[in-house]
Amino acid sequence: MIIRLSPHITPDTSAQLHDQLQALQCSVHAVTTQSASYLVCPGPPSIDLRRVGFLPGVADVHAVSETYQLVSGSWKTQRTTIDLGDGVQIGGGHFALMAGTCSIENETQIQDTVAHLVQQGIRIMRGGVFKPRSSPYAFRGLGMEGLQLFYQHCRQAGIKIITEVMQPAQIDQMYAYTDIFQVGARNAQNFNLLGELGQQDKAVLIKRGISGTIEELLQSAEYVFSAGNERILLCERGIRTFETAYRNTFDINAIPLLKARTHLLVIADPSHGTGIRNLVMPVALAAAMAGADGLLYETHSQPELALSDGQQSLSHEESAELVARLRQILPFCCRS
C-alpha cells in the first residue's frame, strides 16, 4: 500500500497517522522525494483502504500488490519524465538519445564525439571514466581527470553527461560533473550504491544485471526511490543466456513488459545488448518500436582503435544513419 501525504501535512498529523497505521498492523516506511512524501506499507493490504483514505493528512492511497511498491505502475498512471535542464528532457514525448564512446579516452576523442553529437542534435553524451573490466589489466578509465575534461567540452556544447559510478565513495567527487549517474550491470544489486544514489537529486540510470530478472531490476529501482530519488531510468542491456554467438541476448520482451509494470522510463542499450556492431542498428530500431523511451549506445570516431568495446561501437557514419532511421520510425513506435 502506498499513501501519498498531503503536501501541507503538519508534523503532528504525520506522527498521528503513523500511529494509526501501526495500530492497524501496517509496517510503515516513510519516504520523502523531490516531488512528494509517501508512507509505504509493503505487503498485501490487510485493511480496507477506505479506512485510510479518510485519515487526516492523506492525499491518496493505493493498493500495490507487487514486491516493489513505489516504482510500480499500478498506483501512478502518468509516466515519469526527467528534465535535465537547458531544454534536455526525457519522456513526455521526448525520445532520449545518449551516445558516445564506451570509455573517455583523451581530449581529441572527446572533441570528435561532441562534434558528432552536435551535428546529430544529440544532447546527452555517454562515456565511462571508472570502467568495470573483466580483466584487471584492461584499460580501466581516466578517473576524475577524464570526467573533468569530459565536462568541460560537454558544457561548452550544451551537452549533458551520463557516466558510470562504481562505488558510493565516488558520488561526491563526480556530482558536479554528472547529469545522470549510470549504475552498471555488475552493480545492479549493489544496494549500498543504490541507497546512496537515492539520496541524490540527480537522475540515475540502472542497468539490468548480467543475469538479472525484471523483478530484480525493479527492486533495485525501488532502493533508489525509497531512499528519496524519483529520477530513475531503467536500462535493458541484454542478459547472459546459453547463446554464445553474441555477447549478450538483448531481451526485447523486457521493454514492453517493464513499461507495463512501472511508471519509470525505459532505455535500451543495443551496444552491450548485442556486442556486435552490425547488430546494433537493427536491435536499436526494434527497441524503439517496442516502446523504449530512449537509446544508450556506443559510437567512436575510429572504433577499431577504441580502448574498450570497439567491436560494438558504431562509426559516426553508422550513428548518423541510426539517428536518421530513428527519426523516420519514431512516429510509429508504441510509446506510452
What does the binding site for Mn ion look like in residue numbers (CB under 5 A)? 102, 309
Contacting range for ligand PEP; rule: CB under 6 A; set: 56-64, 85-93, 179-187, 212-220: 179-187
Q: Yes or no: say if 165 and 120 are a contact pair by the CB < 8 Å rule.
A: no
Helices (H), the chain: 11-23, 49-53, 107-120, 143-157, 168-175, 191-197, 214-226, 254-261, 270-274, 277-289, 316-329
Rule CB under 6 A: choose which of 3, 40, 98, 102 binds ligand PEP. 102
Residue 184 contacts which entry, Mn ion, ligand PEP, none (Cβ below 5-8 A, type-dependent): ligand PEP
Residue 57 as a binder of ligand PEP (CB under 6 A): the answer is no
Residue 231 as a binder of ligand PEP (CB under 6 A): the answer is no
Give residues 250-309 in contact with ligand PEP (rule: CB under 6 A).
Answer: 272
Cα-Cα-Cα-Cα torsion 5, 85, 186, 239, nearest 10 degrees, comes to 90
Residue 112 contacts which entry, Mn ion, ligand PEP, none (Cβ below 5-8 A, type-dependent): none
Q: Which is nearer to ligand PEP, 61 or 221 (CB)?
A: 221
Rule CB under 6 A: choose which of 116, 160, 237, 335 binds ligand PEP. 237
CA-to-CA dists, residue 64 to 27, 44, 169, 231, 257, angstroms: 14, 7, 34, 20, 17
Residue 146 contacts which entry, ligand PEP, Mn ion, none (Cβ below 5-8 A, type-dependent): none
Contacting range for ligand PEP; rule: CB under 6 A; set: 69-77, 178-186, 256-264, 278-286: 178-186
CA angle 28, 31, 36 (to 5 degrees): 125
- Chain centroid to CA 212: how far? 15
CB of 314 to ligand PEP, least distance (A): 14
Question: CA–CA separation, 198 vs 159, rounded Å?
Answer: 24
HSE of 315 in the Cβ direction (CA atoms, 13 Å)? Answer: 5
Q: Yes or no: say if 17 and 6 are a contact pair by the CB < 8 Å rule.
A: no
Question: CA–CA separation, 269 vs 250, rounded Å?
Answer: 8
Residue 194 contacts which entry, Mn ion, ligand PEP, none (Cβ below 5-8 A, type-dependent): none
Q: Which is nearer to ligand PEP, 18 or 240 (CB)?
A: 240
Residue 247 as a binder of ligand PEP (CB under 6 A): the answer is no
**Interface ranges with ligand PEP (CB under 6 A):** 102, 128, 132, 184-186, 207, 237, 272
